[in-house]
Amino acid sequence: MKKILIFFFALCFSVSAFALDLQQAKDQGLVGEANTGYIAPVTAATTSEVRQLVASVNQIRKANYQRIAVSNGLTTEEVGRLAYQKAVQKTDPGHYYQNAAGTWVRK
């Protein structure tokens, strides 16, 4: 019983080691670069882990876009569109991005 409890607690504390990161999510085709400059799930059927990753990454991007927009006299949306263009250029082969029409495309 003691070994089972030790294993259980070790498993609980190591969950962060299994946490999905952005690169892994892109490699697995779970998320891609949306045409807004943010990331989004590629399919409607997604896990809470993917939704949490998307929210976290997009929160950071939004803060950065707002900072850049203020310092350059642009809107956040304009900064997002510029970031999207750069992101598509940097997208690895096999990863997804949205085209202008909002359709997911594999590079």
For the segment 39-65, what is each residue's pLDDT rounded down to a tens digit? 999 998 899 999 999 999 999 999 999
pLDDT digits (tens, 9 = 90+) for 76-102: 999 999 999 999 999 999 999 999 999
CB burial of 4-23 (b: ≥16 within 10 Å; e: otherwise) equals eeeeeeeeeeeeeeeeeeee
Lookup: tokens for 30: 């779970």
Residue 6 pLDDT exceeds 60 = no
97 near 105, Cβ under 8 Å?
yes
Do the Cβ atoms of 82 and 69 come closer than 8 Å?
A: no
* Domains in the chain: boundaries: 21-106
Q: String of b and e for 52-76 (b: at least 16 CB within 10 Å)?
A: ebbeebbeebeeebeebbeeeeeeb
Give the CA distances from residue 34 to residues 31, 73, 77, 84, 89, in Å, rounded to whole numbers and listed in that order: 9, 23, 13, 7, 13
Judge whether residue 107 has pLDDT over 70. Answer: yes
- pLDDT value for 13: 40
DSSP 3-state assignment of 99? coil
pLDDT at 38: 97
Reported as a single tens digit per residue, the pLDDT across 13-46 is 433 344 689 999 999 999 999 999 999 999 988 9
Q: Tell me what percent of the residues of the chain surpass a pLDDT of 90.
A: 79
Q: For position 19, what pLDDT does the model report?
A: 63
